[in-house]
Chains A and B, each alone.
Chain A
Amino acid sequence: GAGVSQSPSNKVTEKGKDVELRCDPISGHTALYWYRQSLGQGLEFLIYFQGNSAPDKSGLPSDRFSAERTGGSVSTLTIQRTQQEDSAVYLCASSPRQLARSYNEQFFGPGTRLTVL
């Protein structure tokens, strides 16, 4: 597709279960970002990947959260032992490249709405 895609669009899970959220960035984009958006709130940065460099994990809220990006393309965000406060929309974005002082916009996917019961 032409844009960033995410799956599933909605996920309902029980407290304590693990979930995996998937992001397919725009082909050729080397930078990939994950954000979390609680209801009516702004975007909370979680993690970003740039090419083959080590990811910036500074935004991950706890060690229950992890992400990987295979082959520089698809990314999976994993939340272990989900808690009710993890309920939010998880947004993925990609960007053509990210260099110091690079003027690049981010292209967002539609998000995955996670509900933890």
Chain B
Amino acid sequence: GESVGLHLPTLSVQEGDNSIINCAYSNSASDYFIWYKQESGKGPQFIIDIRSNMDKRQGQRVTVLLNKTVKHLSLQIAATQPGDSAVYFCAENMGYTGGFKTIFGAGTRLFVKA
């Protein structure tokens, strides 16, 4: 069935190192992908997005890469900081009759060691 999943449920990195969080999706018709960050006790917050006509998009310290050939999405965080510790979700927007639906992946918990 359709799914968005993550390869690693947890990731531990040293402060200052770069982090890479991976995501696989299965719907080749999805045309919009989003990364969300969820801190403890809060709702998810938008980090960065990418449309299917792009391979790479950069934000402040974050980069999203999209490989449509293998249906893979990744989030790269440069110079990871303690404040980056959170759960990260990838999501894809899938069209269907009447609109579209957002499907979230299972999430990866990022631990940043000082």
Contacts and interface: CB of A to CB of B under 8 A. Distances in A.
A88 to B, nearest CB: 13
Interface in B29-72: 31-32, 34, 36, 41-46, 49, 51
B99 A105 contact: no
A101 B31 CA distance: 7
A26 interface: no
A93 interface: yes
Interface residues of B, number: 25
Interface in B10-46: 31-32, 34, 36, 41-46
Interface of B: 31-32, 34, 36, 41-46, 49, 51, 89, 93, 95, 98-107
13 contacts: A41-B107, A43-B44, A56-B99, A98-B100, A100-B100, A101-B31, A101-B100, A102-B93, A105-B49, A106-B102, A108-B36, A108-B44, A108-B45
Interface of A: 4, 33, 35, 41-43, 45, 48, 50, 53, 56, 91, 93, 98-103, 105-111
